[in-house]
Amino acid sequence: MKIKYPINFHKALTFAIVLGLMFLYHNFTIGAWVYLSLHGTYGFLWLIKDSIFPDKQWEQEIPASQGIITFVLLCLYWVAPFILISSGTVPPLPLVAAAISLNIAGVFLHFASDAQKYYTLKYKTGLITEGFFAKCRNPNYLGEVLIYLAFAMLSQHWLPFLILGLFIAMIFVPNMRKKDQSLSRYPEFAEYKENSGLFFPKLFNSRSSQKEETTA
């Protein structure tokens, strides 16, 4: 099976899982509804994104056993809504507003940068050093982290933050390092790496680049 199958299955189930938790625990407070809206919509948008501009890394074939493990690991993302809804806690409105803003920013970064990458490489192969990738080499990962950070904030519990940290350390960072190794085959990558951040945008050019611009 393709690795995207368990991923897409998880995304498709999220709305139903969160809504089911709301009925199970009779929790229809604003926090639960906002969480359902944000995470459920993100799952549906992911499926639309995959049908329009799919990510090549999710097209690779994997054994069925690995697909099951992938799905089980992704289920850890449902810990946040479980804690939020089962505990009955209602997040304060300023926190809800902050989570919504963070989620919107994350979805924008994640989807828009993936679209830029897909359509740029579709018509021209090579290193992408402009647009969303001008100052950050992985704006899509940054966007995804912001999305799940918003979900963790709504739960008001340390465990979803820990789970997100583990995903970052064990999956996101190794993938970003692997991508850097792959891009290093391009002659211009050294300069691009110097002037862009691996995860966070590098807003200021390095001293060497500034010197080159001055001498030019």
- C-alpha to C-alpha distances, 150 to 25, 159, 163, 170, 215, nearest whole angstrom: 22, 14, 13, 20, 45
> How large is the average pLDDT for residues 19-42?
98
- Secondary structure of residue 206 in the 3-state scheme: coil
With CA atoms as reference, report the closest residue to 18 among 108, 80, 71: 80
Confidence of residue 139 (pLDDT cuts 50, 70, 90): very high
Q: Check: CATH 1.20.58 for 4-215?
A: no
**pLDDT value at position 74?**
98
Domain spans, the chain:
4-215
**pLDDT value at position 205?**
75
Confidence of residue 206 (pLDDT cuts 50, 70, 90): low
